[in-house]
């Protein structure tokens, strides 16, 4: 099975040596998305909730470039620097992915790139 390295044209640029998503067969393995505004390639102003809104928007944008939607997401991993933000992020997550939710893991980490407080990676299906 061939691996295709996809680099977004509409979402935030990678902050390191990786692709936005790797595609193998009918599966998209999306790199972690952070709260960076792709128009200016800088973190959004505000706290975790504003970042989360941007993260979900970025995921939606990249999936759209690949011909997929939020409903095609099978699994997510959510990284938070403060698990005290879980309930508020959970409400935004429900709006972004519901009602046919993907499987999910959520963990607290000490730090994330660019000093941000949330990162979300996902696995989705490709429509061919």
Residue 14 is part of a domain; what is its CATH number? 3.30.1330.40
Please tell me the total number of residues recorded for the chain in this structure.
128
Q: What is the pLDDT of the chain when averaged over all its residues?
A: 96
Query: Are 55 and 79 within 8 A, CB to CB?
Result: no
- Tell me how far apart the alpha carbons of residues 16 and 112 are, in angstroms, rounded to a whole number: 13
Is 106 annotated as catalytic?
yes
**pLDDT of 15-34, one tens digit each?**
889 999 999 999 999 999 99
**Averaged pLDDT for residues 44-53:** 97
State the pLDDT confidence band at 128, using cuts at 50, 70 and 90.
low
| Degrees to nearest 5, angle at CA 102 with 97 and 106 | 90
**Averaged pLDDT for residues 107-123:** 97
Please tell me the number of Cα atoms within 13 Å of 31 on its side-chain side.
18
- Tell me how far apart the alpha carbons of residues 122 and 30 are, in angstroms, rounded to a whole number: 5
Sole residue written with tokens 């960076």: 36
Q: Is 2 helix (H, G, I), strand (E, B) or coil?
A: coil
**pLDDT of 68-84, one tens digit each?**
999 999 999 999 999 99
For residue 44, the tally of other CB atoms under 10 A from its CB is 18
Number of domains in the chain: 1
Contacts of 42 (CB under 8 A, 6+ apart): 36
pLDDT, residue 127, reads 77
pTM of the model: 0.96
Provide the domain limits for residue 48. Answer: 3-125
Name the active-site residue from 5, 19, 106, 122. Answer: 106
């Amino acid at each position: 099975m061939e691996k295709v390295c996809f680099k977004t044209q509409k979402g935030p640029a990678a902050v390191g040596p990786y692709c936005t998503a790797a595609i193998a067969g009918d599966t998209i393995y999306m790199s972690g998305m952070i709260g960076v505004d792709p128009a200016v390639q800088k973190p959004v102003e505000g706290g975790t909730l504003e970042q989360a809104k941007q993260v979900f928007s970025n995921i939606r944008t990249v999936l759209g470039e690949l011909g997929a939607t939020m409903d095609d997401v099978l699994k997510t991993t959510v990284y938070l620097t403060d698990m005290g933000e879980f309930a508020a992020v959970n409400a935004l997550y429900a709006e972004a992915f519901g009602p046919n939710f993907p499987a999910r893991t959520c963990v607290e980490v000490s730090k994330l790139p660019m000093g941000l407080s949330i990162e979300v990676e996902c696995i989705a299906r490709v429509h061919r």
